[in-house]
Amino acid sequence: MLKMIDLFAGAGGLSEGLRQAGFHSLYANEIMKPYSETYARNHVNTLVDQRDIRTVDAQEIRSNLGLARGELDLIAGGPPCQGFSINAPVRTSEDARNHLFREFIRFVDEFQPKAVLIENVPGLVSFENGMTLQAILDELGNHGYHADVRILYAPHYGVPQTRWRTIIIGMKNQEDVHSAFPQPEYNAPLRVNFTSHFDGKNIIGFPKKANLPPHISVKDALSDLPVLQNGEVGEVCKEYRTSPQNSFQRFMRQYSDGVFNHEAPRLSKVNLDRLAYIPAGGNWTNIPMELLPKGMQRARKSDHTKRYGRVDPDGLASTILTKCDPHWGAYFHYEQDRVFSVREAARIQTFPDHFIFTGSKAEQYEQVGNAVPPFLAAAIGYALVKLLVKEEQHQVKITG
């Protein structure tokens, strides 16, 4: 089991995926109380710290964990990066987010891990014309890490939604960081609507193999979960609707006692009236004009194509956001007249069913929507494990 710590950890999606790949999270820092409580519930052997990271003594944490410098395998996390710039002292003093990235680097300096993993939004690549991203890579280089970046598409790794993440990996003793990024495992439809070039090259991880299996669909992910009526709460733990219908569902149900976090928010009458007109794969353009919100009555049919969408069961879901609000995207169930439950959103994010979300319903949706999909994290984790194990074997051979 490889050792890691997770900073700006959220509810633990990144740690969950890395756990599946063979990492054990020794320590996690997350200032948001509902998020850290969910993390602690699902990672019972991890020291979870709710303090502001700026007040945390990294040397004390390392000492408490009993680790020598260089012994830790990985520091992972999602530090705010958009405020960071090495050569912008004025911005440095004004933008608190910059200092948070400095805190991440402070832990890297203290632990000297073999690898560093940073995740962020695709927009990081174009932010300040790429200067921020270049500053991050340069800073990792200044601290002894060979670093590179890719934009990864979650459906390529078995995640049934259109979600992109910018992934930065730094390696202490490996110059060829390229092999630390996973290769796509599934074919999936995609549309790139952001800057995908950096330093003169396309940094999207496109499939290289032919004949990859098709993407995991929404129906593949959800069809075994219990039927719910609009507004239905029911038992805290519900029985599955069917036996597992595919390998995705079998994996989701490992170590699970039943279906938790599966309650249907109550839609208003006007939204139910709108929903009656929307077929699977349809959207707001199927709704009669008089039922549309005033602002959307003036919209072009080609705009806002995901709003008031009922997902195509054979397709990919919209990106899961911090609310499954039909005004934001295609969050209507493909065959039931309601929006996704927290558990359904979590399934689409690839959280296993034994992963329980705590806090209010709104907080649970936020935790799911802000998370890194565990399947994406696991794919990165497996690629990292190969390199780290290979490196360790090489070191043993030299010293032996």
Per-residue model confidence (pLDDT) at position 88: 44
Residue 159 lies in a domain: yes
**Residue 351 belongs to a domain:** no
Phi, psi (degrees; rounded to nearest 5) at 3: -100, 135
Q: How many domains is the chain partitioned into structurally? A: 1
Residue 52: give its domain's CATH number: 3.40.50.150
In a domain, 166, yes or no: yes
Residue 135 in any domain: the answer is yes
For residue 11, give its domain range.
2-212+374-399
Q: Is residue 150 part of a domain?
A: yes
Give pLDDT, residue 193.
Answer: 86
Q: Is residue 259 part of a domain?
A: no
| Residue 394 confidence (pLDDT) | 55
Active site residues: 81
Q: Is residue 363 part of a domain?
A: no
Q: Residue 83: inside a domain, yes or no?
A: yes
Distances (CA, A) of 51 to 54, 56, 100, 359: 8, 7, 13, 18
- pLDDT tens string, the chain, 400 residues long: the values are 899 999 999 999 999 999 999 999 999 999 999 999 999 999 999 999 999 999 999 999 999 999 999 999 999 999 988 667 544 444 444 555 557 899 999 999 999 999 999 999 999 998 888 899 999 999 999 999 999 999 999 999 999 999 999 999 999 988 889 999 999 999 999 889 889 999 999 999 888 888 999 999 999 999 999 999 999 999 999 999 999 999 999 999 999 999 999 999 999 999 999 999 999 999 999 999 999 988 888 888 777 778 899 999 999 999 999 999 998 889 999 999 999 999 999 999 999 999 999 999 999 999 999 999 999 999 999 999 999 988 776 555 555 5
CB 337 within 8 A of CB 362: no
Structure token pair of residue 66: 């009993």
Q: Which amino acid is at 60?
A: E
